[in-house]
Amino acid sequence: MSLELLIMFAFGGAFLTYLAGKISSKLRDIFALLCSVALVVIVSSLYKVETTITLYNGFFGMPLSMRLNPMAWFFAIAIVSSSALVVLYSMSYMKHRERTDYYYFMLLLINAAMLAIVLSGDLVSFFISWEIMSWSTFLLISYNRNAALPAGIKYIVMSLIGSMCMLVGIISIYTAFDTITISEIVQHMATATAGYKLFLLIIFSITFGIKNAVVPLHTWLPDAYAESPSPFSAVLSGMLTRMGIFGFLLIMFVMVGAENSLHMGRGFFSYHNILAWLGAITIVIPTFIAMLQNDAKKLLAWHGIGQGGYMIVGIAFGTSLGLAGGIFHTLNHAIYIILLFLSVGAIEYSTNGLRDLNSLGGLFKKMPIAFLGGLLGICGLIGIPLTNGFVSKWLIYKTLILGKAPFLAFATLLGTWGTILSVYKFLHNLYLGQLPQEHQNIKKTPLAMQIPIVILSLTILVFGILPGLPLKSINAMIVSFGFTPLTVSIWGISSETGTLNMINIFSILLVVVAIFWLIFQAARKSTAVDQYDNYAAGAAIPKDKYNYTVEFYAPFYRMATPYLRDIFDMLYQKIARFTEFACDNIRKIYTGYVSDYIIYIILFLALLISAQLKWSVF
Amino acid sequence: MDRNQISKWFKNPGKMANKYSFHVVYFCTGCGIIEIPPSITTRWDAERFGIIPVATPRQANLFLITGYVSTKTLKAIIRTYEQMPEPKYTVAFGSCPINGGMYYDSYNTITSLDKYIPVDGYIAGCMPRPEAIFIGVTHLWKLIDMDKADGYKRYRRDYKFYRANQEQLFKELGWPPLFKDASL
Amino acid sequence: MNEMSILDPVLLIAIPLGLAFLIPLLGLVSKKIVRWIPVVGFLFNGIVALLILPHVLKQPIIVKIGGFVPPFGINLYAGSVGMLLASLIAITGFLVSIYAVKYITKGAEQKYHILFLLLLTGATGVVLTGDIFNLFVFFEILCISSYALVAYLGTRSGLEASIKYLIQGSIGSSFLLIGIGLLYGQFGTLNMADLARQIVDYTEPSVFVSMVFMITGLGIEAAIFPLNAWLPDAHSSAPSSVSAVLSGIAIEVGLYAVIRVLFTIFAVSNFFIFFMVLGVLTVLIGEMSAFAQKNIKRMLAYSSIGQIGLIVFAFSISTQLGVAGGLFQMVSHTLGKALLFLCAGYMIFRTGSMEISSLEGIGKKMPITALCFTIGTFSIVGLPPFTGFASKFMIIRAALANGELLLQILIGLVLVGTIIEGAYFFKIIQTIYFKGAHKTDNREEAPVTALIPMLILVSFIIVIGMFPNIIDKVLQPAASELLDQVKYIGSVLG
Amino acid sequence: MKILSLFISPLLALIIGLLFLGISRKITAKIHWRCGPPVYQPLIDVIRSFSQKSISHGAFFDFGIILSLSSSVVLIYFLPVGDLYAMTSGGLIAFLYLMLLGPFGIALSSAASGNPNSSIGVSRKFLLALAYEVPLLLVLLTVMTHYNTISLVEIVNIQAGTGMAFSSWALVLPGIAYFLILPAVLGVRPFEIVSAPQEISSGPVAEFGGKHLAFYTLQHALQLFVGLALFVNIFLGGGTLFGLLNPIAGTVWATILGIIIFLVKMFIVLVIELFINAVYPRFRIEQAMRYLWKWPTLIAFVGLVIVAILN
Amino acid sequence: MNILYDYIYYAGAFGLIFIGIFTMMVKRNYIKVIIGLSILETGVNLFLISVGYISNGTAPIFSNPGIEAKNMVDPVPQALVLTAIVIGLAVLSLALSMAIRLYKHFGTLDLQQIKEQRW
């Protein structure tokens, strides 16, 4: 299986899916699913293959190439598998929506573009795929209309800013080194000055920072996540946003090289340290803002930003342990956030688009599978031991503590505790507590939506208990960056400063739970009661209009709301408003009076003459 | 006190523990509640007998009806009583729950509580002093020892009777019957 | 020369001109046939131009009209730039005239087609001529026919735009003529090559006066920043097919003339910093003005100003790469903007309003048109894999190649303009596809004669965007032709 | 030793925890000038709870409380009591996370009951946790940074060599901070906001009766044990006393004595804590958060800064 | 005086150009603007003629062998002017025809009031 075939399959599949949709929607669904499953098969068959191919020399004579290495493979498999699950999920979720052809087309196109990004062997094809991804994402974010429209504009404007920065960076590299192939750039980079490297790092960091929503550049994300269709929110948060992490890895550890990017500047004011601090801020502030959200998807979106911070901290700290943590967290985040978005999507599906945390509750009896997904998802998000999130977070904490960065560690840990609060609210207000009367007879979750949720839930546990599975290929990636490899075994990680043995913890917990479960069963059997048989000072709980999930952390709201505002968003809004104002006024120079226009002409003439007198052309 | 007799503990730990760990629903039904604070604080210190007030019937095994029971309160009392886990005991406190006391002809006070929930013991007086409470508790111990404090069993057995009385008083109770298969 | 006697560049001018005057006669025969005359004419032109193009890449063709030797007679200079633009004009003209077959149904049809043919004849003449007064004449042909075409619909806005255009355009022509007169007074020749040769040796600075007048005169047609007040009015009020040509061809021809004058005749070198700033200013003002528009055609018109600014900027870098980038940007702008205007034409026709808000739900009503429009906007904004990206890539590369700080700052500003451009174009896309209620209107797709040109333009945009090497082969000789004054003089004067 | 401690540790912790609950009730009573219940009263309560017939709001209601108790037991395995510990994997970070699992299980369970009071209680519980975790994390980070390890056992071992952590003056401030937040960690007055029987009917445990309540009580006992033991381990040198046991190191007696020393230390901390507990009224949640984010956090932060500069 | 004599045509031409532009700039009436345009064009034409003009020159016809080429008036500008006049005429007629339509639509020829197309 060659890479050309893979790329052809990805892009061609997207187009063909669209065409198939013109014939019949059932055919399209099946075709889309087959396509994405086929991609999974192809990519997994390429495990441990390292190859480079040149696609064509068409772009101004620059060779556009594809290459496969451990890093690319790792991201590629994550992309294609999440895509396959999401496509499967969409088969039910999108059934009664309009423009589904378009939806599938864009979804598959985005996946193809992401695949092309991670596989691209040179910067121009990287950029082209990046942009295809950006605009197709824009088209899909806007899919839900109404509130989605400003979100889409916000996204595409910030994305454009990012890509313009990247374009400048790429062209500057091309000008400096006369090549765009990454492997050749790596060789040339040794000759570059430190200042130039710093310039490259910064300008690419803006791009990837926007994509990965590092704090001052994050403002596109909450709206975009919240307003796109749920399966796509999953892709968006799981993989698409994390292309930023891929980019950071690419620029920091592949192109500029670890030995350069980790020694840029001095002391606190070094590139990677500032990046790590930005990551820390990214963890703390959005996590606390998430606590104030009342929209399930928006809450998850803010967490998406916050979790991105862990990855940034991990990879910016730049030890093999931290790097492994950061990369592993990227994968883990993808798994659990996709799961969470799919669970919320299931609720949206069942309750006809309701995702307001204040008006739902008690759904765990009605939608057990979605609840399972939600529970394991938030466990992973918090990093409860035995879920995958724990391992990666553990790696990051350990790196930070032993790397003598207690304040960074504090930020990361604090972020975790903030996460617990807000995701518990998420879980509680959606699934636990009282089931409102109007949701007693909600739609059932279809099988096609249940399967991905179950698969992802199991993956969370498997990766949590046997973290060695993904860590092995991450280890290969780290080695390719020139770091010392970790001692990874199937159950965890061991190093001279402490080991992590997940299967150990798992087995003990399992035994203890079993023992207590037996004790529990042996004790007097309990009577089952319904949710209205609750003690509320002797009063009967009213069945209608009774929902106490509103304002779950009311005391905290009162305390924190004045301080927890997204100042950057406000700043950008101000800038946008100012730009609009400027745009609205600058066109007033076209006054509509011909005499004014003639004056402009005369003025131009005068200007030219004075320019001649100043610069003396002749 | 026989809570130090190990053999009894081995014979029936549940019963013994129930005796010496009265968790009282701290539910203010009437004026008698004024006698509870002295009894649980420094002067009389109910805790030395293992009696402590708890906030929710789910954790309790003793229900003290402290004083007169108005119709409105009765509804909450029934609800609370039904939510207590078995075994559970009820002690009516003061003369009002027994026969209405000084409210014997009041339109909104019930005169006999045991029409609505089973009562295991009465402490007469208006008001009974805290010492009387402890005497009542020791009597209850004896009743438990003799398995005569069987109010909760009676409630289960005669549920239809109680439910009928309750429904007669309140047109709508607001909760389903506790036992489905209870017979008269 | 013998084997390619059919491939005479003169035909490119002569055939449309002849056909234009043939139209009234043919109109007597059949009304319907008139509509197809421009199509036939530009098809022929396109084929001829594309056939000539490979030949001129190596060696420009000098056509001596009437057999006079260049400094004395009028000559056509069919170099790679000229032929590139001529083929572009022919192709665009061909596509737009196909579009116009069904689109122009009201009013004086015959006159429309005559004027249309004349307009593009003028444009072709401008890009091919080697004589400065001839350039003026062709320019006037172009201008006058466009004045008339802008007012073609006879609406209030059309008339207003037309007279404003006319007043400014006439001043521009007068200035151009003054410039030509001054040059002639100083050097006694009108041949560009000859002028160039003499100006190289001429040391007195007084020649700048004529240059200033010429640039101002041509600049009005080229819509460089303070001189472009006519553009939004004219482009938005004209029928869409005309707007497409005006935006896609007319202003670019004007710009070509400016560049030709600057590069070939005057060979200025240190004046470009001024034009760079001017270009960036044009970009910013154009894009910012477009941002606040409610009228779609006006928005597109302002966007054209922005694009022109970008092209000016690219040319002012005045390196091989920069000029090639500018030419490429011209090509991609022509394709993209023509496509956008064509799509907008039928979108406006179906909704009956030019307001952007009235386009809600048009994506459902006219899916193919909307798709073409979307691709056009992507190309104009410069998103891969469409042509706009490739040309922008080239320009940025040229700007960064020198490593000058000023250029870097200016390209930054240009990119800011691009972002603003992206913002408003994406808003339109949202309006087209995602705004409004979920209407279940019947499909009212544009007619086939409109769809064919649109789809052909789309395919050009995608193919050139993915394989820019195709056009790069023409761009490089073209750029070197513009930059290499000596070679130009040599090839004309022998 | 590890195998042995797998069985001994939880039993010890349960017994000691229940005993400490009883002792604390007794001592509080004594401070209140009462007689108080016998020290084994909590055991009676547990037995009574087991004997009662509880209600259940569904499988998840049961699962949460089982998980909570189990994870507390697992937590005990990580906690060195003298030389008694079963697991070191993951170190203090894993320990911190497992500490989370107990309250989390209870929260899940009580939320599944759908009781409004429980919901309020849980919300308060998490807010309080957030409030005290800020200084607690700072304190633990200070210690980990100071000793440059994430292993709890290693921290104890280092202290065994140097005496108590308090004797290193850099750790005095964190110690004070920890002591200030200890009532909040243990959830006793003045931070008894979560259960608050008079306000919200015991909060999270409002629906727990019978075996659920018994499990909760056991969990509570373990929580008490863990809170105290962590303090002893981190700041008071665990099961060592200024090298007193060094001459007999390695013998069984040393282990047993170590455990006893450990328990005594815990007891002392508990008694000091009780004096605060017995005389203070309850904070409101905002007051608690404001307090915890002010003084303890400030002290802990200064401590961390000092340690960070020293290193 | 000689200088004035040499350049009087230029002065006149630029004077006319200036007047023309000034008229176009300040006059509000469209017809007057057209008049200004026509003056401008006249000025330009005059300028072109004067470029080729040699005082006391002869017609550029080699009818008489005694006439020297350097005394001839340059014929090219005259050809140019002819073209320019034609073009000017075209523009003028177009402008005037539009004036009619303009008045029909707007009811006025005041350019200050015809400003629907702006911004």
Cβ-contact C320, C401 below 8 angstroms: no
Query: Which two three-digit tokens encode residue C219?
Result: 């600049």
DSSP character for A431?
Answer: T
Q: Give the best-scoring range by mean pLDDT among A105-114, D78-87, D237-246.
A: A105-114
pLDDT tens readout for residues C24-73: 888 888 878 888 888 888 998 898 888 888 888 888 888 887 777 777 77
Separation of alpha carbons A209 and C243, rounded Å? 41
> How many distinct helices (H) and strands (E) make up chain A?
24, 8
Q: Which residue has the higher pLDDT, E76 or C300?
A: C300
CA proximity to C96, closest of C238, C228, C233:
C238
Q: Is chain B in touch with chain A: ≥3 Cβ pairs within 8 A?
A: yes
Asked if pLDDT for residue E73 goes beyond 90, the answer is no
Q: What is the C-alpha to C-alpha distance for residues A57 and A60, in angstroms, rounded to an integer?
A: 7
| ipTM of predicted complex | 0.86
For residues A565 and D147, is the Cβ–Cβ distance under 8 A? no
From the list C145, C8, C6, C174, the residue with the least C-alpha distance to C75 is: C8
Whole-number Å distance between alpha carbons of A406 and B52: 46
Distance between CA atoms of residues A362 and D54, nearest Å? 21
| Closest to B156 measured CA to CA, from B93, B55, B84 | B84
Q: Is C144 close to E95, i.e. CB distance below 8 A?
A: no
Helix, strand, coil fractions of chain B, as percent rounded to 5:
50, 10, 40
Query: Which chain B residue lies closest to D22 (C-alpha atoms)?
Result: B50
Residue A496's pLDDT band (cuts 50, 70, 90) = low
Identity of the residue in B18, B45, B56 whose CB atom sits nearest the CB atom of D34: B45
If you average pLDDT over every residue of chain A, what do you get?
84
CATH class of the domain comprising B2-169: alpha beta
- Which chains border D (3 or more CB–CB pairs < 8 Å)? A, B
> What mean pLDDT, rounded, does chain C reach?
86
Which residue of chain C is at minimal alpha-carbon distance from E89?
C144
> What does DSSP say about strands A492-495 and A498-501: parallel, antiparallel, or unpaired?
antiparallel
Tokens of E19: 């007047």
Instruction: Note whether D75 contacts A: Cβ–Cβ < 8 A.
Output: no
Upper half-sphere CA count for residue C2 (Cβ side, 13 Å): 0
D contact test, residue of B6, B26, B56, B175 with most D CBs within 10 A: B56
Say whether C393 and A171 touch across the interface (CB within 8 A).
Answer: yes
Question: Is residue C459 scored above 90 in pLDDT?
Answer: yes
Length, in residues, of chain B: 184
Q: Does A535 touch chain B (CB under 8 A)?
A: yes
CA-wise closest residue to A252 among A203, A210, A191: A203
Closest CA to C155 of C329, C310, C348, C357: C348
Residue D302: other Cβ atoms inside 10 A: 15
Q: Which residue has the tokens 């454009």?
A: A160
Is D157 an interface residue toward A (CB < 8 Å)?
A: no
What is the per-residue pLDDT across B81-120, written as a single tens digit (0 to 9) for each?
888 888 888 888 888 888 888 888 888 888 888 888 888 8
Predicted local distance difference test score (pLDDT) of residue A224:
86
Judged by CB atoms closer than 8 Å, whether chains meet at E115 and A587 is answered as no
For residue A128, what is the nearest residue in chain C, using CA coordinates? C384
Comparing B8-17, D82-91, D132-141, the range with the smallest average pLDDT is: D82-91
- Which of C376, C355, C372, C375 lies closest to C435 in space, CA to CA? C355
The alpha carbons of chain C give a radius of gyration, in whole angstroms, of 21
| Cβ-based neighbour number of residue C386 at 10 Å | 28
How do residues E21-55 score in pLDDT, each as one tens digit?
Answer: 888 888 888 899 999 999 999 998 888 888 877 77
D275 Cβ partners below 8 Å, 6+ apart? Answer: D31
Contacts of C392 (CB under 8 A, 6+ apart): A167, C310, C329, C382, C418
Contacts for E31 with CB less than 8 Å, ≥ 6 apart: E99, E109
Contact of C490 with chain E, judged by CB distance below 8 Å, is answered with no
Closest residue of A to B77, CA-based? A538
Q: Is the Cβ pair D34, B3 closer than 8 Å? A: no
Give the pLDDT mean for A219-235.
86
Q: Please state whether A468 falls in left (phi above 0), alpha (psi between -120 and 50) or beta.
A: alpha
B-D C-beta contacts closer than 8 Å: 100
Separation between Cα atoms, residue D245 and residue C106, nearest integer Å: 109
Q: A605, C216: Cβ pair inside 8 Å?
A: yes
CA A172 to chain C, closest CA, distance in angstroms equals 6
Cα distances (angstroms) measured from residue E38 to each of A415, C229, D309, E19, E45: 77, 22, 85, 10, 10
- Cα–Cα distance between A434 and A362 in angstroms, integer? 5
- Which residue among A592, A595, A599 places its CB closest to the CB of E117? A592
Residue A328 has pLDDT above 80, yes or no: yes
Judging contact as 3 or more Cβ pairs under 8 Å, the answer for B and E is no
**A147 neighbors A174 (Cβ within 8 angstroms):** no
Q: Is A354 exposed, middle or buried (0-12, 13-18, 19+ CB in 10 A)?
A: middle
Q: Is A545's pLDDT higher than 70?
A: no
Q: What is the pLDDT of residues C359-373, one digit of tens each?
A: 888 888 888 898 899
Please give the angle made by the CA atoms of A417, A420 and A424, to the nearest 5 degrees.
160
| Per-residue confidence (pLDDT) for residue C456, from 0 to 100 | 92
> pLDDT at residue D241 above 80?
no
Find chains touching chain C: ≥3 CB pairs under 8 Å.
Answer: A, E
- pLDDT tens-digit map of D245-294: 667 777 778 788 888 888 888 888 888 888 888 888 888 888 888 888 88
- The tens digit of pLDDT for each residue in C266-286 reads 887 777 888 888 899 999 999
Q: How many CB atoms are closer than 10 A to CB C135? A: 24
CB D164 within 8 A of CB D99: no
Q: With contacts defined as CB-CB under 8 Å, which chain A residues touch D59?
A: none
Judging contacts by C-beta atoms under 8 Å, the chain B residues touching residue A540 are 79, 173-175
3-state secondary structure of A36: helix
Are A399 and A393 a contacting pair, CB within 8 Å?
no
CA distances from A269 to A276, A280, C421 (A): 11, 15, 36
Find residues 58-77 of chain B whose CB sits inside 8 Å of chain D: 58-59, 61
The pLDDT of residue C336: 92
**Structural domains of chain E, ranges and CATH numbers in brackets:** 2-57+69-106 (1.10.287)
Select from B44, B59, B152, B156 the residue whose CB has the most chain D CBs within 10 Å, as the one to mutate to test that interface: B59
Mean pLDDT for A82-102 is 85
Q: What pLDDT, in 10s, does the model give residues C181-228?
A: 888 888 888 888 888 888 888 777 778 888 888 889 998 988 888 888
CA atoms within 13 A on the CB side of A510: 9
- Mean pLDDT, chain D, integer: 82
Average pLDDT over residues C323-350: 90
Calculate how close chain E gets to C168, using CA atoms only, in Å: 10
pLDDT at C5 over 70: no
Asked if pLDDT for residue C458 goes beyond 90, the answer is yes
Helix axes C132-150, E75-106, angle to 10 degrees: 10
Measured CA distances, C455 to A5, A130, C342, D18 (Å): 28, 25, 11, 82
Tokens at A152, concatenated:
């889409």
Test the E interface: residue of C74, C115, C159, C187 with most E CBs within 10 Å: C159
Q: Per the CB < 8 Å rule, is A538 touching B175? A: no
Q: Which residues make Cβ contacts (< 8 Å) with residue C407, sequence separation at least 6?
A: C276, C317, C399, C400
Contacts of B3 in chain D (CB under 8 A): 38, 44
